[in-house]
C-alpha cells in the first residue's frame, strides 16, 4: 500500500523489541517442546552398559520419544515439570533475540550505507549479515543459555533457581568461564539464525515479491519454512552444543566435554551417526511453531510501532500547526492592542 511505511524505517531498538516480544510470546506457547528436545538430546542411547551405569548413578529415566518423555515427566513431576527452567529460558530467548535483531538491524543498515544501494543483498551477503549479528548477540547472552540448559537437564531433586545454578557452574572446575561453556559451538551455530533469516528474506522475495508488510499467515509460513531448513542443516551442532552445556553422561564418569567435536565423536562412537540427529522431531516442531509465531508477532508489533510513531508525528504536527496559528493571530492582533 502506498500509505504504509517500509519496515526498514523502524530503528534498531524498535526491531529488537519487536523480535524479543515475538520470541517470548512464541516460546511461552511451546516451552514443553523445548524442554523435551533438550532432554532427548543429552540422553545416551540405551544399552545394557548404560542401563547398569544409570542404575548405579540413580539417573533420570530413559525417554523413547517425545510423547514418552511428556508422559514420564508429567507422571513424575506433574504438569509443572514440563515447564521446569522456563523463567531462565524465556530470559534467554528474549535477550538473545533482542540482541540478534538489534545487531542485525545495525549491520544491515551499515551494509546498505556501504553499498549505497537499496537493492536486496545476495544470499551470501544475507548469510554473512546474519552470522555477524548472531556472533555479537551470543557474546552477551550465552551465560543465560548455559544456566537454562543445566536447569532443564537436572532432576527434580537437584533442580535449583537461576542464581544457584549459575553459582554451581562458577564453582565447578571451569570457574567463571563455565558460564561461556560451548561458546565455540555457539559461534559456529550462528549459521542457524543466519540461514533462518537469510532464507526468510530470500523466500519473502520469491513467494511474496514487492510486499513490505506481510499478513499474519504469510509471516508465519515464511518463518516456519526458513527455520525448518536451518534446523535440518545444523541439528548435529545443536545436539553437540546441548551436550557441552549439560552435565556429562554417566559413561564419562563426571569428565566434561572440552569441545563440540569431542561431543560429536562420543555420540558417533557410542550411539551411531544417526544419533547426531536425536531430538530432531521436537526440535523441528518447536522451531516450526516458534519461528512462525515469532515472525508473525514481530511483523504485527513492528506495524504497531510504525502506526504509533505516525500518530505521534501527526499529533506533533497538529500541535505545531496550532502554535503557528496562535502566533500568527497574536501578530495580527498586536497593532490593535498598541492603539
Lowest-confidence region among 95-99, 227-231, 306-310: 306-310
Number of neighbours of residue 34 by Cβ within 10 angstroms: 22
Number of neighbours of residue 325 by Cβ within 10 angstroms: 10
pLDDT level of residue 6 (50, 70, 90 thresholds) = very low
Higher pLDDT, 254 or 146: 146
* 275-280-281-287 Cα dihedral, nearest 10 degrees: 170
Q: Is the pLDDT of residue 54 over 60?
A: no
pLDDT in tens, 188-216: 777 787 788 788 888 888 888 878 778 88
Most confident range (mean pLDDT) of 217-226, 248-257, 323-332 is: 217-226
Lowest-confidence region among 40-54, 170-184, 191-205, 230-244: 40-54
pLDDT level of residue 339 (50, 70, 90 thresholds) = very low
Higher pLDDT, 84 or 338: 84
What does the alpha-carbon distance between residue 153 and residue 171 come to, in Å, rounded to a whole number? 18
What is the mean pLDDT of the segment spanning 159-167?
A: 82
Q: Is the pLDDT of residue 302 over 80?
A: no
Higher pLDDT, 43 or 267: 267
pTM value > 0.75:
no
CA-nearest of 186, 183, 145, 177 to 162 is 145
DSSP letter for each residue of 2-43: TTSPPGGGS-HHHHHHHHHHHHHHHHHHHHHHHHHHHHHHHS
Number of neighbours of residue 102 by Cβ within 10 angstroms: 22
pLDDT level of residue 47 (50, 70, 90 thresholds) = low
pLDDT level of residue 59 (50, 70, 90 thresholds) = low
Contact 303, 40 (CB under 8 A): no
What pLDDT does 46 receive? 60
CA of residue 322 relative to chain centroid, distance: 46
CA-nearest of 222, 216, 220 to 203 is 222
Conformation bin of residue 255: beta by default, left when phi > 0, alpha when psi is -120 to 50? beta
What does the alpha-carbon distance between residue 185 and residue 6 come to, in Å, rounded to a whole number? 36
Higher pLDDT, 327 or 272: 272
- Sign of the alpha-carbon dihedral angle for 36, 92, 18, 237: negative
Contact 179, 185 (CB under 8 A): no
What pLDDT does 332 receive? 66
What is the mean pLDDT of the segment spanning 120-135?
A: 78
Q: Is the pLDDT of residue 57 over 60?
A: no
Amino acid at each position: 500500500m502506498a500509505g504504509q511505511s517500509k519496515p526498514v524505517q523502524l530503528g534498531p531498538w524498535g526491531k529488537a523489541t519487536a523480535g524479543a516480544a515475538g520470541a517470548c510470546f512464541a516460546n511461552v506457547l511451546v516451552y514443553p517442546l523445548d524442554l523435551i528436545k533438550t532432554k532427548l538430546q543429552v540422553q545416551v542411547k540405551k544399552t545394557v552398559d548404560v542401563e547398569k551405569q544409570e542404575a548405579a548413578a540413580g539417573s533420570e529415566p530413559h525417554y523413547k520419544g517425545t510423547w514418552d518423555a511428556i508422559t514420564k515427566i508429567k507422571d513424575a513431576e506433574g504438569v509443572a515439570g514440563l515447564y521446569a527452567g522456563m523463567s531462565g529460558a524465556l530470559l534467554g530467548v528474549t535477550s538473545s533475540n533482542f540482541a540478534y535483531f538489534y545487531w542485525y538491524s545495525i549491520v544491515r543498515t551499515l551494509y546498505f550505507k556501504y553499498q549505497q544501494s537499496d537493492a536486496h543483498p545476495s544470499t551470501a551477503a544475507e548469510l554473512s549479515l546474519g552470522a555477524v549479528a548472531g556472533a555479537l548477540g551470543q557474546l552477551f547472552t550465552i551465560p543465560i543459555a548455559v544456566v537454562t540448559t543445566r536447569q532443564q537437564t537436572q532432576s527434580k531433586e537437584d533442580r535449583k533457581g537461576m542464581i544457584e545454578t549459575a553459582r554451581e557452574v562458577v564453582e565447578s572446575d571451569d570457574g567463571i568461564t563455565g558460564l561461556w561453556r560451548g561458546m565455540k559451538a555457539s559461534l559456529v551455530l550462528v549459521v542457524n539464525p543466519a540461514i533462518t533469516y537469510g532464507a526468510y528474506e530470500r523466500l519473502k522475495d520469491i513467494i511474496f515479491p514487492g510486499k513490505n508488510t506481510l499478513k499474519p499467515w504469510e509471516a508465519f509460513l515464511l518463518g516456519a519454512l526458513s527455520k525448518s531448513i536451518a534446523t535440518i542443516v545444523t541439528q548435529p551442532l545443536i545436539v553437540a552444543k546441548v551436550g557441552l552445556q549439560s552435565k556429562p553422561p554417566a559413561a564419562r564418569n563426571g569428565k566434561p566435554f572440552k569441545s563440540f567435536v569431542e561431543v560429536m565423536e562420543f555420540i558417533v562412537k557410542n550411539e551411531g551417526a544417526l544419533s547426531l540427529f536425536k531430538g530432531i522431531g521436537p526440535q523441528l516442531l518447536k522451531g516450526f511453531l516458534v519461528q512462525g509465531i515469532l515472525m508473525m508477532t514481530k511483523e504485527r508489533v513492528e506495524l504497531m510501532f510504525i502506526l504509533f510513531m505516525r500518530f505521534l508525528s501527526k499529533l506533533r504536527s497538529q500541535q505545531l500547526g496550532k502554535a503557528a496559528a496562535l502566533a500568527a493571530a497574536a501578530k495580527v492582533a498586536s497593532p490593535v492592542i498598541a492603539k
